[in-house]
Structure 1
């Protein structure tokens, strides 16, 4: 790994899921001083109260832990899979692959952000399409636990592209009743997973038509690398979502992508709300993204 990239990852400071406010003084582990531009404003209002609270009077989906043989990693791996309320094999469903941050694993989204609860509520209200959500482990190495120096695992996150395309997706399409065309396959993630979503999604538009990056980390490729052919991306993308909190020192990364997309006239959503690099930010982004994907 190039020293500059490793240094960037070490200083990017993925903050574990927390709703605490960031320090008032600039913190180099959070990306440095924050300077907001004219486009850095919310596209949507904050989610309503109770959007992430389980409602007893509605149907619920389920989450199960599954194991698959990863040929690319050379070991048996785990991922969490959400199936929507009323899931039946007689119906084909779209699939969203949802990626975690550098300090997380296949349980991170469910443990802290309740995507299954958010989706149950949205589906019950007719605001989201019934979908399958796959939450894999984006750390493609044999010991994929988030232990020790988590920043040293950065190369394994880059290698996950092969595991995702060649092992995870084929397993899901064999085990679950899913639609297998690009128009019904999405990829989204937070922080390190947000960078992965942009890198892998925009790099494989023949596989993904719906892409979301929630406060993407420094693993994100340069905009010119992500979208070398703006006209092609414009033709093929169904949804390209970028969001970040205005208290997040990493905002310059996603803003750089936004600025490039805006210059090249590539349609996309750019939303900057009042949160930080934290759980409320990712819950909010998932809430809004879920109402747009597959629609």
Structure 2
């Protein structure tokens, strides 16, 4: 999934949709567990999600390029909304947001989520890592073992605190429907779901979408991004849409600029490049926080390459 992003998109679009959470009050933990058993193991290695939440409204696998999408989205939002965006690395055990942004954090998710700062908004902002773009970041743990102390409840409490401090809270989740990811969804207004252009990834995304429907977890809105789009791979965007029974919003092409950007720790939206991948990543930013003119001009349209 939001590779999930927890996001909310527009000032009026999402208002009032999720004041009490995305999970239907009629769904108990037994129903949720049963639905997960019916679809089987959903921790699949080809997709991920981002969740984005905006104040006042009611979250990616490496193979799918989930963290590339989340970091570029968060930096792009920070460029449009300085000092008003925070990125949370909620891939609790194996997150690599700090590496992708070339950050050396002093404080990481476990100590922030479990420490005193989690209950004090002034102290919380003081322990966040700041990126050169003006983006605030809560990096993942330094080791898988260190992350074991973070519970889904800890993560939810932290997200609620952050929503009072920032206009946009972007959450880079682990792939699949883990307990932590389901916890993030309880605090999510919108999802950006990322999949790679291959059969396992697309089928996995379909299972996740079906599971969310089964669980009656209904975000205010969702966007679907296909990464590593290449017409020579034998799959088309139409094939993806037919499988997942939903529209693909953006298809990001294969680009040599992406691994170079990752290795340098500089997001493509920072670089000012004009290659197709950078343009598509900027379109993801516009999906989440459309400019006034863009919102009017692109209403009802989708992007393909």
Higher-RCO chain (CA-CA 8 Å, sequence separation at least 6): 2
TM value normalised by structure 2: 0.34
TM-score (norm 1): 0.35
